[in-house]
Amino acid sequence: MATTELQMSPQLEQIHGEIRDLFRALSNGFQRLDKMKDSNRQSKQLEELTGKMRECKRLIKEFDREIKDEESKNPPEVNKQLNDEKQSMIKELNSYVAMRKTYMNTLGNKKIELFDMGAGVSEPTADENVKMASSMSNQELVDHGMKTMDETDQAIERSKKVVEQTIEVGTQTAGTLKGQTDQMGRIVNELDTIQFSIKKASQLVKEIGRQVATDKCIMLFLFLIVCGVIAIIVVKIVNPNNKDIRDIPGLAPPAPSRRLLYLRSPQ
């Protein structure tokens, strides 16, 4: 179906043009592949063509979504033309997929890497290979393409669920780590407070120790002074004539001994 015969929105026209450009690139790529003799170059060329097929498959799905979004705005005949064009593109894409499998078999690859229409989908081996495009009916190609797209959608949904679960676990882990970080911060602050209190207590103990030592020295000096005074008093009392010892202020010297005269009466 020619592009000019289709009534498309600007968005659909852009997607449709990109798909047609990719189909032309795939056609030219397989033509060049026929002329290559080196197996390494052929493998590299097949990898490039596979990338173009993946991009083409993505655009076809986007094209299908746009058709569904605009379905209510278009007349039924336009929707039918657009869906027929989509089926035609799926058929053409599957023909290139079959051609790729044929070239992979020719290269002697025992494990056929079927065009990746969805992650996690089991792929047939060389002995179970899909029919050649020339031997498959249009409906078989369309059904195969739609089935592969459905498998891709399921794989994408599974991937989304895994991503959501991963994000949820990451959020919970981040919350737990934040709580633990806050708790560690509080513990560090408490340790700093305890360390400060210990330093203040140590300083207070040192000051008390110095005060006690000073009081002991004063008491010792007072004790020595009292002992000296007592010694002086004792010496002064025992030997009042000792001139080497000065009188203690406020302490009267001992009274001199008096002699009583005895007078005998005359007889």
15 versus 166: which is more confidently predicted? 15
Alpha-carbon span 77 to 89, nearest angstrom:
18
d(CA 131, CA 133): 6
Return the closest-CA partner of residue 96 out of 147, 145, 37. Answer: 145
* Low-confidence winner among 9-23, 77-91, 251-265 (lowest mean pLDDT): 251-265
Q: DSSP letters of 116-145? A: -SSTT-----GGGPPPPGGGS-HHHHHHHH
Going by the DSSP 8-state scheme, the letter that residue 117 receives in this structure is S
Which residues are within 8 A (CB) of 260 and not within 5 positions of it... i.e. 6 or more apart? none
In Å, the largest CA–CA distance within the chain is 191
Most confident of 59-68, 157-166, 232-241: 59-68
Round to whole Å and give the CA distance between 210 and 216: 10
Confidence of residue 159 (pLDDT cuts 50, 70, 90): confident
| Cβ 117 vs Cβ 154: under 8 Å | no
Of 39-48, 90-99, 153-162, 177-186, which range is least confident? 153-162
Is the Cβ–Cβ distance between 81 and 7 less than 8 Å? yes
The residue written with tokens 């033509």 in the block is 31
Task: Return the CA Rg of the chain.
Answer: 56
Q: Name the strand (E) or helix (H) holding 82.
A: helix 76-106
Question: Could you state, in order of their start, the residue ranges of all structural domains in the chain?
Answer: 8-112+171-195
Buried b or exposed e, range 86-114, using 16+ CB within 10 angstroms: bbebbbbbbbbbbbbbbbbeeeeeeebeb
Mean pLDDT value of segment 103-109: 72
Residue with structure tokens 């592949």?
Answer: 33
The CA-atom distances, in angstroms, between 71 and each of 15, 77, 148 are 16, 11, 23
The pTM of this model reads: 0.40
Instruction: Say yes or no to pLDDT of 2 above 50.
Output: no
CA gap 23, 92 in Å, rounded: 8
Task: Indicate left, alpha or beta for 111 from its phi (over 0: left) and psi (-120 to 50: alpha).
Answer: beta
Amino acid at 12: L
Q: Are 30 and 99 in contact (CB under 8 A)?
A: yes
Q: Whose CA is closest to 56, among 114, 99, 96? A: 96
Instruction: Say what the pLDDT of residue 90 is.
Output: 93
Is pLDDT above 50 for 233? yes
